[in-house]
Structure 1
Amino acid sequence: MQGISLRPHQVEAVDSIIEGLALPLDGTVPASGRRGQVHMSTGSGKTITAAVAALRMVPRGVVGVLVPTLDLLTQTVEAWRAVGHSAPAVAVCSLGADPLLEALNVRCTTNPTQLALWAGAQDGPLLVFATYASLSPQGLDDDQGDEETGAAPGALERALRGSYGQTMRPFDLLVVDEAHRTSGDLGKAWAAVHDQGRVPAVRRLYMTATPRLWEASPGSAGADETGGHLVASMDDETLYGPVLFEFGLMESVERGVLARFEIDVLEIRDPQSPGPDASVEERRGRRLAALQEALLKHADTTGVRSFMTFHSRTLDAMSFARALPETAAELHATDPVTYPGRVGAEWLSGEHPAAHRRMVLGRFADGIDADGWVTDLGVLSSCRVLGEGVDIRGKRGVGAVVFADTRSSPVDIVQVIGRGLRQNPGEGKVSRIVVPVFLEPGEDPSDMMASPSYRPLVAVLQGLRAHDERVIERMTLGTTTARGKATSVVALDPVREEGDDGNGQEHDADEDQEQQTDTAPAGTEDSTEDDAAGIGAGHESGTEDDAAEEEHPGSGVPLLRFSLPRDPGTIALFLRTRILHPDSEIWLTGYNALRHWVAEHRSAEVPLDEVVELGEERITYALGAWVSEQRRAFRLGTLKAWRADLLNELGMVWSVADAGFWKNLTAARAYHAVHGSLAAPKDAVVEGVAVGQWLANLRKAGGLGKDEVRAAERRAALEAIDPEWHPGWSMEWQRHYATARALLAEEGGLTEVLPGVLVHGCDVGTWVLRQRDSATWEALLPEQRERLEALGLTPLPAVPAKKTTAGGAGAFERGVLALEQYRARTGTVTVPRAHIETVTIDGQEHGVKLGVFLTNSKTRRAKLAADKLAVLAALGLDWAA
């Protein structure tokens, strides 16, 4: 190779290609040939990679290279020659006697007979470079129309078939660059590249930065007899083969192959904004003028010396470039410190001859204007002409790209961004992606989440995410806290071809058809370009220390900056609602109104008839009705999960009837903060809430509600405060236990508490002594004893009791035995007063008036001995605790 050294990722790619496209040992070629894909980010050197792989795989074979544009064709020829491909070469395009191709010893033709003659006249190595237009019949002698089925052959296909006795040799390797262009409708002319019968090749190598994935849509052109729409999707390995190598955008940035980049959101307020009656052209003109001034000031702020502006109309690109020097001169005269003095501005379109485009690009890359003067700032404006693969390198290069108009296609967005990410090995460049946002009069930037003004930023970020999903997820936010001073905050929780008309431009024969069929979802399609990364002196890929490609932690993290002060939380919410989980601006308007309501009222409870005013224009908005609609969708299960999450973060009250529970729960939490337990007495009141009675009601059967899901949610909320809010014993015992636990913990292991020590109205000493009584201890549940033992409490030695005969059991003992039997049978200690429980003692039945026994015991509880009270308390009688 002539001075070209591969970088580590290119070495890996070449090895993967050679291995993936290798033929069997017996040399048998599969019926459809060998096929494979390589996915490498824009500007990471796909062209060089393919050229080296071809040189190693088929050094003496016929190699074809298909590209979408004339500019990319000439650039690809340069790259392949630089790698070491010295074989005879033919270009199937309309460039004719192009001086660059002539200097590279490449002949041009669009005549299939001439092509077959040149390509079939001799054995040995041969290079055939062609644009995709060579697959369509336009421009040929017979001038056949391009049928929807794509059956009409193009120049390349006709040469392979044979023309006037001359037949072109089939390809040993066909490299399909920017292969995403061949996806979509299988009926379009460019899809012929997949057909082994029409374009025979031993091996096919499809190169792209990001693949396009398609689904068939019925009833469209190209439908088969069953009504299904035939499409070429890059996940179809029968057409494209397996993916042999991948090298994504973020990995390219992290390894220093592509430049780090920052997204600068240029928020523009036009002081002379046209009124509502202004025409569309007047508004566009005012916006272009405001953008010019903003960009000139941005150049001073950031130090950028070269901008590429991309417009949706060629007329706008021309107007912008022609007016900019005059605007810059006027601003420089008023403020020479801020605004640059010499500003060069040029424009390009597909109507310019290829030689003129190369000349303008060269001047721009070197920072020179049309008169040969070095500029303080260079600007190049265009509309679509600078498509895939155009490599712009020079003394100054591309400092920033500017989206002068909103772009909805991720394809276009990635193309534009790719212009600024290329860098030489070890350069350490930081590229800027400038997204102008034109604010409406009086618009508050903090409402950006629901603002239509930020659609250009949404489109760019979604395009980046389609290119590499990790971009947005790893993005760091930069927000201006004071003018001119940016602060980074934490990371989040993110085509039309120019053809030739004979005047230096190559017309895309499939252009209209491509636009009609290129309708893949934004999140799954993408476009990119590749270049001969490292061509010629000073741009040799990998000639510098390869350590430049080593990963530098944190250096590849994209930064998002806003020109106006912004709360980081607002930006994070914008990314979440408009990029990660894109939502409609209509829904976000309601959500933003609810955010303001919560900030003002500290509650998400909104009356049904509540109406609020939005923005400077004080537009009325039925917020209450919007909130009610969200509740309805939630009940029906139609509310999107991320919407529910966003509303929950605001404290959304999903049920009005449920609101009381959550309000009372706040009071219960306050009680627990003081007492360390939710075992509140029934008369406990906190913050005006009868929390004791409320908790008692919840502990009743069905107290948490009939809805099982809601009941489980409420139970979980209570357990989060106090796991023992509803124990299997009396609240009186639990309340004393929690009080004793807190006291003993404060005393550092002390277990002796004297009777009469009161805490929160509980006589902790007396209660502890009662629990340690042997009879009381034995009557406790195992779980209760475990809790006491954890506090260091143990039972006192039992006092020997006078034995009695079986028949001599006292009234109290018979009552306790009857109560135990009743509770075991019924599960409750609530006994009707007239109830008589029959118990058997030593084989003799006794009728115990249990209801009377309990009434009398409760009445005389003040006179009962402590051990008897403990026995009754252990059986679940709260009044005995």
Structure 2
Amino acid sequence: MSVVKPGLLAVEATRGVTLRGHQEEALAAIVRGLTLRPGQVAPNGLRVTVQMATGTGKSYVGAVAGQRLAPRGVVLVVVPTLNLLLQMMGSWREAGRAGEMHAVCSLMQKELPAGVLASTSGLIVGGWIAKAARGRRPLTLFATYASVGAVRDAYAYWAREKQELLPELDLMVCDEAHRSSGSVEKSWTVVHDQAQIPAARRCYMTATPRIWAPPTRMLKAREGAHQPLPEELAVSMDDVGVYGPHVFSLGLAESIEKSLLAPFEVVVLELRDPLADRDAAGRQPVPWGAGVGEAQDGSADEVPAEHLAAMQAGLLKVAAERGLKRTITFHNRTLEARYFSETLNQTVERLHFQNPEKYPEEIWAQWLSGEHSVDFREEVIGEFGQDEEDDGLSYRVISQCKIMGEGVDIPNADSILLMGRGSMVDIVQAVGRALRMKPGEGKMASLVVPVFLKPGEKPGDILESDSYGGLVKILTALRSHDTRMVEALAVPQKSGKRTTGRNAEAAFAPGEGGASGSGGTSGAGAFTLPVRFESDPGDDVLALFIASRVLTSETQLWREAIGHVRHWFKETGGLDVPYSALVGENQNFPLGKWLSDRRAENAAGELASWRVTQLDGFGMIWSVSDARFEAGLDWARVWAKDHAGSLAAPARASVGGYAIGTWLSELRAAAQVPAGESGALAAERRRALEEIDPWWCPAWPITWQRTYATARQWWLESDGRVDWAQLPAETVFEGEQLGRWVQAQCAGFPGLEEDQKDLLAAIGIEEDADLVAAKAAAEAKPTISRADRFQQGLAALATFVERERHPRVPRPHKEPLETMEAGPGGEEQVVVSHFALGTWLNNQKARRAKLSPGQLAQLAEHGVEWA
């Protein structure tokens, strides 16, 4: 059973951490979802799920969340691979995580960072946890899903052998959490079991909470039409009881729209099957023999030389035409990766001889497998990231076998070659490799998919041919990253729309406009995935292909949405749905946002007429401009619901991807404009906001109102039973320094506005005569200049050095210091104070660049080495 006291201690280490807007929103959602309210008990621990597209920094967000939620606690981080485990240690250190870090895995000591121990012994792991819990010192354990059973063993050993219970974990972070789904690997589901691994909080993080399996096709004999069987999920994290609510979601398409990831295209290599057409590709000599290797079972392992040579030629053609610089090719077998790499320059030479203006004379090519050492991999990846200026080679290709899975970051890659082989989990992760970019790079990534056509088949015959199975698997993998993006392809587009990779969606969607309508940024619309063929089959044919081969005959998302639309219409008699509305059994379907997307599609002429008619039947409201303010108002209600009815949001605050802070700031500015003048806030809009929060635009600083709202939330969740005078000064709640703020209000009560006094009195905060007097005395005390303060420090240092015979002052040390001050009768008297010498000396070192030569010389006279 987990009981957490309300409030969180502030952590100095996280103050310098810089997060991007979407990361801040994700962090706020995690902290809110994993913070117990006053008196609340969670027998099974608090749980939340966060979905963030690959490459948007979810692992780093998890690290910062761990530092916020458990700065002095025991945290377990679970990842799928040893490579990711090592990478995750660096992310947590970068996020400011202090204390010991240990690995619960099979890594050798020499493979770990300095100071990090490794063990899979339940006795040793339990000892780490017990020691940290006793001393209230931060401890971070890193385990793989395969080795996390050692943590379970630690709890079992302690209960069985020592007859005592190990303290529960303060937080468990499951990265790439789709791997913990029972349908993937049942033995890994121990991370969910509170009885075996007790944790006060669990945070599940993934890019792909659902991984789809391609629908099976069956042939209707009489009609000769392909009919899909019902879709099946290879992975699902929909169970709220196991994974908790989805508190934040950032899909692939939205990440591209926000320029967090590279826009990308799918390039289909339509190749002739070289086994059926010997002229389709030239077979290359095998570097190590006749093209036969040895499989793990000792049998012959044939290299498909003709197929690989054809793919090499096709890839080089795409690279030349699209200006690709760095490509990763994915292979299921090491022998195949090696052959592809070591014969690639032979194909380059042949193509260069045929067309020297189009193809280079030589390229950089290397291969990697799990058998290579970590140092060698890093060296190869480093060379892969070099430019033409470094070695004169304009194109680089890494051929790899199963080493670039979850968490492996190669941001310089602008393309990948995928053959659509292997498990859907592996393909889904491979797709993510080409989608990572640094902000501002502005690159276009390419997913190159080879297709081998049978004799008689023509390029573009995607409806009739069975040769496009690899493409189906790739598109299904993309659907696991973002259902909306792929299902949008099933809707025929206007000519030319799809080739740009963008459409005209969301010109009026929440997140754009000024004070009159919404917050956020305007600009490019929603990302539309380009799928390029050698012979364009046409948008209508592609839409039918997606619907019948990748999706079911009717998209699952549309069917689900229409079901919710029908229910809403039945309950309300219309379709006036707030943008923020979540519906469904688990309240996880964003009906308001889904309808907003359909409005944008209709405004751009991209929504099928029969779908327009279907929505019209439920009273669909198509005028987006009329709904702009209402959309912002809906998000304001969401914000107020989570913040004790207050709209005092920070300027950078966002909720559900909507920039609510900017929206409210612009409205407050408009509220200051006199009525009747240009830009003034309409009276009905002012009233609408006041219905949510009468103090949404106060006469005093909004920061005061925001902290007041936090204090009121504390008061409400404590059922009004709060002794404010006993609240510790270091208390932090919802990110606000609540304890210090309350003391400041009690001390400064006389100087507040009357309305502020009334608000404070309503929650029991009153004037404290002692604090008021102390504040007045402090304000009356003459201030000391920086120069005089420096001389005080020198005097204290001189006293210390004379007594101790050295200048090495401990950081906490305070030196007694005598000063002359005016007494009650006006006469000077000696006053002894304790000067924080250790802190002062440390501060001087930090700002030594600003000290004068004379001040440095004075410090040096007392033996201060750095001066």
* Kept after mapping to 2: 8 A contact 1:476/1:560: no
Aligned partner of 1:386 in structure 2 is: 404
Aligned partner of 1:176 in structure 2 is: 174
Aligned partner of 2:31 in structure 1 is: 18
Counterpart among 230, 253, 256 of residue 256 in structure 2: 253
Correspondence 1:66 to 2:87 = no
* Kept after mapping to 2: 8 A contact 1:176/1:204: yes
* Kept after mapping to 1: 8 A contact 2:504/2:526: no
Give, in angstroms, the shift of residue 118 of structure 1.
Answer: 3.6
Give, in angstroms, the shift of residue 490 of structure 1.
Answer: 10
Correspondence 1:581 to 2:552 = yes
Report the TM-score, using the length of structure 1 for normalisation: 0.50
CA RMSD of superposed structures (Å): 3.9
Structure-to-structure mapping, 1:8-157, within 5 angstroms = 8-26=21-39, 29-98=41-110, 101-103=112-114, 105-122=115-132, 123=135, 124-136=137-149
Aligned partner of 1:400 in structure 2 is: 415
Q: What residue identity is the alignment partner of 2:305? A: G
Change (3 A) 1:31 1:565: closer
Structure-to-structure mapping, 1:293-308, within 5 angstroms = 293-308=313-328
Give, in angstroms, the shift of residue 339 of structure 1.
Answer: 1.7
Q: What residue identity is the alignment partner of 1:194? A: H
Q: What residue identity is the alignment partner of 2:433? A: R
* Kept after mapping to 2: 8 A contact 1:38/1:246: yes
Q: What residue identity is the alignment partner of 1:390? A: V
CA distance in 1, matches of 2:553, 2:56: 30
CA distance in 2, matches of 1:117, 1:166: 12
CA distance in 2, matches of 1:580, 1:64: 38
Give, in angstroms, the shift of residue 232 of structure 1.
Answer: 9.8
CA distances 1:438-495 after superposition (whole Å, capped 9, x unpaired) = 122332224221201111112211222233221124349999x99xxx96699899xx
Q: What residue identity is the alignment partner of 2:313? A: E
Change (3 A) 1:311 1:552: farther
Change (3 A) 1:125 1:243: same
Give, in angstroms, the shift of residue 333 of structure 1.
Answer: 3.9
CA distances 1:832-863 after superposition (whole Å, capped 9, x unpaired) = xxxxxxxxxxxxxxxxxxxxxxxxxxxxxxxx
Change (3 A) 1:449 1:551: farther
* Kept after mapping to 2: 8 A contact 1:262/1:430: yes
Paired residue total: 486
Give, in angstroms, the shift of residue 106 of structure 1.
Answer: 2.6
Give, in angstroms, the shift of residue 362 of structure 1.
Answer: 2.9
Change (3 A) 1:46 1:274: same
Change (3 A) 1:159 1:176: farther
Change (3 A) 1:423 1:3: farther
Structure-to-structure mapping, 1:590-601, within 5 angstroms = none
Change (3 A) 1:186 1:25: farther
* Kept after mapping to 2: 8 A contact 1:261/1:421: yes
Q: Report the secondary structure of 2:385's partner residue.
A: helix
5+ residue gaps, structure 1, are 138-152, 216-230, 494-548, 584-645, 649-881
Change (3 A) 1:82 1:488: closer
Aligned partner of 1:438 in structure 2 is: 452
Change (3 A) 1:439 1:564: same
Change (3 A) 1:551 1:356: farther
CA distance in 2, matches of 1:550, 1:87: 40
CA distances 1:121-141 after superposition (whole Å, capped 9, x unpaired) = 34211111111121347xxxx
* Kept after mapping to 1: 8 A contact 2:263/2:501: no
CA distance in 2, matches of 1:159, 1:289: 57
Give, in angstroms, the shift of residue 271 of structure 1.
Answer: 6.4
* Kept after mapping to 2: 8 A contact 1:113/1:163: no
CA distance in 2, matches of 1:15, 1:324: 49
Q: What residue identity is the alignment partner of 1:579? A: V
Aligned partner of 2:357 in structure 1 is: 337
Indicate the percent of aligned positions where both proteins have the same amino acid: 42
Counterpart among 242, 267, 270 of residue 267 in structure 1: 270
Give, in angstroms, the shift of residue 189 of structure 1.
Answer: 2.2
CA distances 1:553-601 after superposition (whole Å, capped 9, x unpaired) = 2473221111235444433433343234369xxxxxxxxxxxxxxxxxx
Give, in angstroms, the shift of residue 185 of structure 1.
Answer: 5.1
Aligned partner of 1:835 in structure 2 is: none
Correspondence 1:366 to 2:363 = no
Change (3 A) 1:256 1:213: closer
Correspondence 1:377 to 2:395 = yes
Report the TM-score, using the length of structure 2 for normalisation: 0.51
* Kept after mapping to 1: 8 A contact 2:105/2:120: yes
CA distance in 2, matches of 1:77, 1:367: 29
CA distance in 2, matches of 1:416, 1:214: 15
* Kept after mapping to 1: 8 A contact 2:179/2:185: no
Aligned partner of 2:192 in structure 1 is: 194
CA distance in 2, matches of 1:413, 1:14: 29
Q: Report the secondary structure of 2:534's partner residue.
A: strand
CA distance in 2, matches of 1:173, 1:476: 42
5+ residue gaps, structure 2, are 1-13, 214-233, 284-291, 293-299, 506-519, 555-607, 611-867
Structure-to-structure mapping, 1:619-768, within 5 angstroms = none
Give, in angstroms, the shift of residue 83 of structure 1.
Answer: 1.2
Q: Report the secondary structure of 1:263's partner residue.
A: strand
Q: Report the secondary structure of 1:451's partner residue.
A: coil
CA distance in 1, matches of 2:339, 2:152: 38
CA distances 1:800-851 after superposition (whole Å, capped 9, x unpaired) = xxxxxxxxxxxxxxxxxxxxxxxxxxxxxxxxxxxxxxxxxxxxxxxxxxxx
Counterpart among 8, 15, 18 of residue 5 in structure 1: 18
